[in-house]
Amino acid sequence: MQKSHFAFALNIQAATTEVKWLSDAEYVNRFYYPGDRLFTKVFYAECGSGLPFLDKSGEKLFIPTGFLDSEPGILPGHNIFWGDRSSWYEAGISARQSEGFVDAEADANFTSLGRLKQAGRTCASTDLKR
């Protein structure tokens, strides 16, 4: 299985409780990652937003921080699955910061799809054309 190489998955782990949907339960989808990792992705089918969920074992409740309407009042406490971090993680932390999208045509340092293809990297089974 290909790793997604996301740098962050910001979830709050909370005491286990029942997750009961008050409406739209038919739009709640669950994806179980294959293998031994007890992790799940639960999302709303209409828009893809992450939703709170219990893991496969039912012992851990995860709340995606993007689901919250306000600041949770706590700071991150752990960097989990550190060994699975992307090789470009440290470079990403020290990269220039921008308030919005970068103009790829104007920025010579912007990684283009063409350079990724030259490096032998592909994007899953898609054929991205510019």
Query: Residues 56-75: pLDDT tens digits?
Result: 778 888 888 877 888 888 88
Give the tens place of pLDDT for each residue, 73-122.
888 888 887 887 888 888 888 888 888 887 766 666 655 555 555 555 55
Q: How confident is the model at residue 127 (pLDDT cuts 50, 70, 90)?
A: very low
Q: Higher pLDDT residue, 2 or 89?
A: 89
Q: How confident is the model at residue 29 (pLDDT cuts 50, 70, 90)?
A: very high
What size, in residues, is the chain?
Answer: 130
pLDDT at 16 exceeding the cut of 60: yes
CATH number of this structure's domain 11-118: 2.170.150
Q: What angle do CA 52, 54, 58 make, to 5 degrees?
A: 170
The C-alpha R_g of the chain, in whole angstroms, comes to 18
Residue type, 80: I
The one-character DSSP state at 33 is P
Beta-ladder partners of 88: none
Q: Given the structure tokens 């912007």, which residue do they identify?
A: 110
Position 108 scores a pLDDT of: 62
